[in-house]
Structure 1
Amino acid sequence: MAPGDLLKMVNWNRNWLDFSRLFSITLAVMLGLKLFLASPAVAQSPTGFIQQGNQISIDGKSYPVPWGQWQEGNQTHTGLGDTGAMQVLGLDLLNNTSPSQQPVQWFSGDRQNLNARFVAPNRYLDVTPLLQRLGTAQAQGNTLVMPNTNARILTVRDGRQPWGERVVLELSQPAFWQVSQAKEEAVVTINAGSTIGGQGNGSSSGVQAIDQDDLGGKTSGGQQIRYRLERLGSSTKIHFRLPVGYKLQVSTLTSPFRLVIDARVDAPPAKTINWAEGITWQQRFVNITGGQFPVTTVTVNPRSPGISLRPLMANSTMAQGTAPLVTIAREQQAAVAINAGFFNRNNQLPLGAVWSQQNWLSGPILNRGAIAWNNQGQTTFGRLSLSEIITTGSGQRLTANYLNSGYVQRGIARYTPAWGPTYVPLSDNERVYVVQSDQITAQYPLPKAGQQQMSIPNDGYLIIDRGSQIPAGVLAVGTTVNVNGRSVPEAFNAFPNGIGAGPLLIDQGRIVLNAEGEGFSSAFQQQRASRSAIAVDRNGNIILVASHNRVGGAGASLGEFAQILQQLGAVNALNLDGGSSTSLALGGQLLDRSPVTAARVSNAIGVFIR
């Protein structure tokens, strides 16, 4: 072989080795990239979910429950909002010691520990171990379709107990279930078919979706608890007619699988759930001289990292409007929410103080109780008033006692863009003065309430004169004006957020109830009703409280509610709107009552977790 040919062969071999090396590296990269792209784990969002949504479907019916799925190794895990899983699947959430672990009981002999993760604003339980024996949950866009349990009701038994009535359904296998309850009726819906339709001990109508307070006299001690079964294909409803004051407590058993429904006056059982860092949910009974009261609380450490409180309006663009508390919380991404101030149910306008980031959304009225807070977790309580002085360029002074208020009285009121884009007269024979860039630009008579809508300028406000309180010529077109306002007590001026309601119940550990002094009617003062409150304990923790009927009777009076709050450790406490408005939500679900009985509300207090 010639030397030249040998050199060519060496070069060719070297090139081939280089090419083989390059091809191998390229192939490995391509295969690695393919494997990388095929792995669902890399598609996970910053929340850790590969897919998520806010509703689940059971047997073709949708429920508002947040869900998410994530990858661990080769297995896809499914998480559901914990309070949603409790109310829609029937999981019994048991006492826990850590937010990252949640013991549950669901058709099992022993408690099962589920992992929990918090992705704002919800706490998700890993329900994968529970679903494994039922089938696979399928994601379809925003909806997670739960597996069909294919369960059947095999037998139904009932019997009187010293505390009420027990109904036991024996099932072929575990099934999802939900409870809806009003004052004297309730329905349990179970995702299980039945051939025993019509069985029961009497007739009962379905629960009507109407807001109501759970008032009433003493329980009907000897009245029989009636129930009946209604077959609905692969689901069954058990309708109950209950004496006043009775509620359902539902639990599950295994070997054989059973759904146990107890109708009793002392439901629900006590529990303490460490829900997130700085947030604890409890339900318990509080004993005072007047009786035993079921109380639901969410205790918030406002100094815990990432936690903040904010007033919420049902309508984020204007003061007018109402909505269910859970809707307000879900839409505004609040982890916790409680109904707050009073409002007019007819025109849906707030009646009391609401201010956020130093912006008055609604002004205080009648020197009623209020709470204010800042972003450092500090609070103040007191009876709040606000007075504004309108001063003209010539030095004339007018006092405006109402700011963005639905409370209509003779005097001068002011309405800013925080009220909404427009103002409609709230009484007859008003006069409006339009202020833009600190100058009167127009004035008009508004002869009839509810007519002649007026735009509120973005660079100004409206002054409304009710009862001819402004002398002629004082606010002539072209007059310059400025406004100065101060809150009383003075301490409130240092706090950027707050809510007014009333009456003030506890101040520095003492009961200071004076409903008449805060302008509440005698009927309101004497009422026994469901109650809501916001309180602070000696450690500065904020306690959100909802209380309903006492065992064997009606709800608490204002004085009794103050005693209940003292038992909870409150050193300062404010009564909030109550009755059918009383609502306490966690993770987008009501904790204290069935949604069918809860009224729409105007405003709320929301707790947020970053």
Structure 2
Amino acid sequence: MLSRPALALACASALTSALVLPAAVAGDLHRTAGIGPVETTAMTAVTAVAAGADGRRDAGADPRTVARTRWVPQLPEVLRTLPPRSQVTSRRIVPGVVATTWGERTRRGPVRFAMVTVRWRAAGVSLDYANAGKVRDAATVPSMIDRDRAVAGINGDFFDRDGTGAPLGLGIDRERGLLHGRTLGWNSTFYVGQDGVPDVGMLSTHVTLRERPDIHVASVNAPEVAPGGVGVYTRAFGRAAGAEVTDGHRRDVRAVVVRDGRVVSSSARLPEGRAIDGVLLVGRGAGARRLATVRRGSRLTVSTSVDKRPLMAITGNTFLLRDGRIRVAENRTLEPRSAIAIDHESRTVMMLVVDGRQPRVSRGYSMLELARKLRALGADDALNLDGGGSSVLVARRPHTAARLVNKPSNGLRAVPSAVEVVYRPR
């Protein structure tokens, strides 16, 4: 173990892309994340600034402690808030993107964390939506990241595991635009605005039928059409899902196909298993009866829009933090968790995974614990993403394959969406 002067000297001289740590810990990240070798030396007490009661850094911390420690510039600021003797391994992936793992001992058991921090103003770095190609397709996050040549990624939205496989909320890709979304429900969103700045908020998808404003359309490429409602499906969805989008109902339904601005067909049978050519409108109950009044051959212009016109967007089930305030209370269920958060002051996005269902290694987190941890790490806003067996965080150096940064509870699960970090050197 190094003395305090030796520790300060080690920190001051660590002007490399890796944080120097115990060999066992560094080797663990090397084996798990596969993102390159890590320098090793004996090092403890990585916290340089004490944490206050609200979980944020204490402005009254001993200034001599702060002065003794010089931090590698590209390492995340949040490392200063970790508890003393945390076992931390950190590695720069590309400029502005850092992967970090650490473990903590708590009264409820051990917890293991994996995090990728992204400086969104770093040259060549951007955040985007990722999927397997079609809305209802699924793939592992590493395969999505490799396909897009991204450098990091975290699993995304909750999805319809027992039906169409489609995500439940909003998905916008920088190049492909709107892929799926809803007018109401499941609107808690992480997004990147037109100015390139990440934010969170409640974003709704709007669909209009210009010639038939009396017909309200509530969703685009959603897993299901609400009872009495109408939904739109496009070729981005993948193959038509038949009665899977009407909860198995085959009566009192209607399918209308629009191609090149004209209604080409209207049927009481829902198409299934074939590619969607044009725009497919599906109605249930009262929605089906309204669609039945649309005549074949008539003009019908379908247009879509999303609040605030984001460049990319993805939804989760709830906000964990808004403006630094905790928005959840659940503190009993311990599960693997995934979240994406924003520290507006440092212009940093955090993608955090808490491993779980591994009692000897990591017990998982409650929702309240997750919110508190993100606030302690400096986050102002945070969104809860799909968790459990879906929780996965990956990173890759350019020209290498994506590797796991965390340890999923049940191996790699195929999921329909992810948030990815793209690096295109300028």
Q: What TM-score comes out, normalization by structure 2 length?
A: 0.71
In proportion to residue count, which structure has more strand? 1
> 1:541 and 1:106, CA in 2 relative to 1: closer, same or farther beyond 3 A?
closer
Contact 1:432 1:465 in 2 (8 A): yes
Deviation string 1:126-155 (CA, Å, 9 cap, x unpaired) is 99xxxxxxxxxxxxxxxxxxxxxxxxxxxx
Deviation at 1:478?
1.9
Asked if 1:530 corresponds to 2:336, the answer is yes
Q: For residue 319 of structure 2, what is the aligned residue in structure 1?
A: 504
Q: What is the CA–CA distance in structure 1 between the aligned matches of 2:126 and 2:193, rounded to whole Å?
A: 9
Q: 1:586 to 1:513 in 2, by over 3 A?
A: same
In structure 2, how many angstroms separate the alpha carbons of the residues matched to 1:468 and 1:397?
A: 12
Taking the TM superposition and a 5 Å limit, the aligned residue runs for 1:42-121 are 97-99=15-17
Matched, 1:555 2:364: yes
Report which structure shows greater RCO (CA 8 Å, sep ≥6): 2
Matches within 5 A, 1:243-322: 269-285=87-103, 293-313=111-131, 315-316=132-133, 318-322=134-138
CA contact (8 A) 2:193 2:199 kept: no
> By how many angstroms is 1:567 displaced?
1.0
2:268 aligned with 1:445? yes
Matched, 1:354 2:171: yes
Question: What does the per-residue CA deviation read over 1:297-355, in whole Å, with 9 as the maximum and x for residues that have no partner?
Answer: 11001110111111111x21x22222222222222212101001111223422222111
Cα deviation for residue 404 of structure 1 reads: 0.6
Partner of 1:330: 146
Q: TM-score, normalising length from structure 1?
A: 0.51
- The code of the aligned residue for 1:483 comes to V
Give the equivalent residue in structure 2 for 1:381: 200
Question: Rg bigger for which structure?
Answer: 1
| Distance 1:475-1:593 versus aligned 2 partners, 3 A rule | same
Gaps of 5+ in 2: 1-12, 28-33, 40-84, 397-401
Amino acid at match of 1:479: S
Instruction: Give the Cα–Cα distance (whole angstroms) in 2 for the partners of residues 508 and 441 of structure 1.
Output: 49
Percentage identity across paired residues of the two chains? 22
CA distance in 2, matches of 1:536, 1:287: 26
Between the aligned partners of 2:314 and 2:355, the Cα distance in structure 1 is 22
SS at match of 1:527: coil
Whether the 8 Å CA contact 2:110–2:363 is kept in 1: the answer is no
8 Å CA contact 2:110–2:362 kept in 1: the answer is no
Check conservation: 1:279, 1:300, Cα contact below 8 A: yes
> Considering only aligned residues, what root-mean-square deviation do their CA atoms show, in Å?
3.5
**1:368 deviation in Å?**
3.5
Question: Which of 525, 543, 546 pairs up with 2:350?
Answer: 543
Contact 2:97 2:119 in 1 (8 A): yes
CA distance in 1, matches of 2:194, 2:15: 28
Structure 1 position 463 matched with structure 2 position 281: yes
Post-superposition offset of 1:471: 2.7
Query: Could you tell me how far apart the structure 2 residues matched to 1:298 and 1:602 are?
Result: 21
Amino acid at match of 1:456: I
- In structure 1, C-alpha distance between the alignment counterparts of 2:292 and 2:100, rounded to whole Å: 60
Checking the alignment, whether the CA contact within 8 Å between 1:417 and 1:456 is kept in structure 2 is yes
- Residue 480 of structure 1: how far off its partner (Å): 1.5
Does residue 599 (structure 1) correspond to residue 413 (structure 2)? The answer is yes
The separation in 2 between residues aligned to 1:404 and 1:321, in whole angstroms, is 12
Alpha-carbon distance in 2 for matches of 1:106, 1:551: 21
* Distance in 1 (alpha carbons) for counterparts of 2:185 and 2:109: 32
Unaligned runs of 5+ in 1: 1-94, 112-121, 128-266, 516-524
| Corresponding letter in the other structure for 1:434 | V
* 1:500-528: CA deviation from partner (whole Å, max 9, x where unpaired): 1121111111112389xxxxxxxxx9632
Shift of the alpha carbon at 1:436? 1.1
For residues 202-241 of structure 1, the aligned pairs below 5 Å read none
Distance 1:531 1:511 in 2: 16
- Residues 588-607 of structure 1, C-alpha deviations (whole Å, 9 max, x = no match): 11111058623222111111
Displacement after TM superposition at 1:389 (Å): 2.6
Q: Using the alignment, how far apart are the partners of 2:373 and 2:109 within structure 1?
A: 10
What amino acid does structure 1 have at the position aligned with 2:403? Q
Q: Give the C-alpha shift of residue 484 in structure 1.
A: 4.3
- Output one character per residue of 1:382-401: Cα deviation in whole Å (capped at 9) or x when no partner: 23332323232xx5421111
Q: Deviations over 1:444-488 (max 9, x none)?
A: 1126xxx6445422xx3111111242436531112212234444x
Check conservation: 1:532, 1:545, Cα contact below 8 A: yes
Q: Aligned AA for 1:98? A: T
Aligned residues: 343
| Residue of structure 1 equivalent to 2:395 | 586
Residues 586-595 or 415-424, more deviating = 415-424
- Letter of the 1:373 counterpart: V
Q: Distance in 2 between matches of 1:557 and 1:303?
A: 32
Q: What are the equivalent positions in structure 2 for 1:357-436 lying under 5 Å apart? A: 357=174, 359-364=177-182, 366-374=185-193, 377-392=196-211, 396-410=213-227, 411-420=229-238, 422-426=240-244, 427=246, 428-429=249-250, 430-436=253-259
Q: Taking structure 1 as reference, are residues 532 and 465 closer, same or farther at Cα in structure 2, changes over 3 Å only? A: same
TM-superposed CA distance for 1:558, in Å, is: 1.1
| 8 Å contact from structure 2 (residues 390, 415) kept in 1 | yes
Give the Cα–Cα distance (whole angstroms) in 2 for the partners of residues 485 and 288 of structure 1: 48
Structure 1 residue 370 displacement after superposition: 0.9
